[in-house]
Amino acid sequence: MKIILIIVGVLAALAILGWIGLQIKPKSFQPFAEATAELQTVRLLKGLPAPVERFYLARYGENIPVIKTAVISGRGTLKLSGVILPIRFRFVHEAGKNFRSDIDMTFFGKPVMHALEVYVDGHGRGVTPGGVDENEAWFDQSANIRMWAEAVDWFPSILITDPNIHWEPIDENTALLVVPLGKSQDHLIVRFNPLDNKVQFIEAMKYKNADSKVLWINGVWMDDGRPWITMNVEEILFDVEVHDYIRAQNPPN
């Protein structure tokens, strides 16, 4: 009986220790050396679908910034096999062309797992605790949709300053975003809140794996039904040098 009590006590202590380790937030990634440059602007395009025009007027006014690169950094949580892990993240974009995503999962504030996704020249590569995905058309499509969805969230000006992109009307609060995918095109449905003209939903058919294309809404797979990640953005930089960073082999500090 004494041995059983000791074992139970040890297991309880380990559980408490593990719980404490998951409550400690990691340090943020090291800040970029550069500050955001002064952005050039262009006048808002004429002829946009009505909800799109209202969105841009509410977001920027008549003068739309021309954004070439973006760096989004912060911290949050990620659910992995039912366990909620603290994370830090950094998403780096050559706007509308290439991107890199780094996510560190941490324990006692220290990185224990790293997830990398890179999309360069139309091809994606993902390295996660679950394995490596690369040189696959399905993964390229999935990464491409993610890249454009992040643009909608964080630097939507690219969606009217890039001539390879256009909007098509659907109804008074919804529009179709048509984006390039290799030599073809792909589509995202963007629904706007009529009360504040902000983006409410971003929807797309996105490959989840090689055999399954699933409706993806605001980063949530329809067959999952629940968000797997929460993110608190702490820094956004625009038009800083990111070419080498996106293509670097090693994760950032």
What is the DSSP track for the chain? -HHHHHHHHHHHHHHHHHHHHHHSPPPPPPPPSSPPPPPPEEEPPSS--HHHHHHHHHHT-SEEE---EEEEEEEEEEEETTEEEEEEEEEEEETTTEEEEEEEEEETTEEEEEEEEEEETTEEEEEETTEEEES-HHHHHHHHHHHHHHHHHH-TTHHHH-TT-EEEEEETTEEEEEEEETTEEEEEEEEE-TTT--EEEEEEEEEEETTEEEEEETTEETTT-S-SEEEEEEEEEES---HHHHH-SSPP-
Question: What does the pLDDT look like over 69-85, one tens digit per residue?
Answer: 999 999 999 887 788 89
pLDDT above 70: residue 3: no
Question: What does the pLDDT look like over 112-168, one tens digit per residue?
Answer: 889 999 999 999 999 887 778 888 999 999 999 999 999 999 999 999 999 999 999
**What gap in Å lies between CA 137 and CA 4, rounded to an integer?**
54
Enter the pTM of the model: 0.89
Question: What does the pLDDT look like over 183-242, one tens digit per residue?
Answer: 899 999 999 999 999 999 999 999 999 899 999 999 999 888 788 889 999 999 999 999
Cα 166–171–172 angle (5° rounding)? Answer: 100
Half-sphere exposure of 216 (CA within 13 A, CB side): 20
Q: Is the dihedral of CA 42, 46, 47, 52 positive or negative?
A: positive
Question: What does the pLDDT look like over 20-39, one tens digit per residue?
Answer: 656 778 888 888 877 777 88
pLDDT score of 15 = 54
pLDDT above 80: residue 18: no
Write phi, then psi, for 153 (nearest 5 degrees).
-70, -45
Question: What does the pLDDT look like over 240-252, one tens digit per residue?
Answer: 999 999 998 775 6
pLDDT score of 64 = 96
pLDDT score of 176 = 98
pLDDT score of 10 = 47
pLDDT score of 253 = 61
Mean pLDDT on 6-12? 50
**What gap in Å lies between CA 127 and CA 131, rounded to an integer?**
6
pLDDT score of 134 = 84
Cα 120–59–117 angle (5° rounding)? Answer: 20
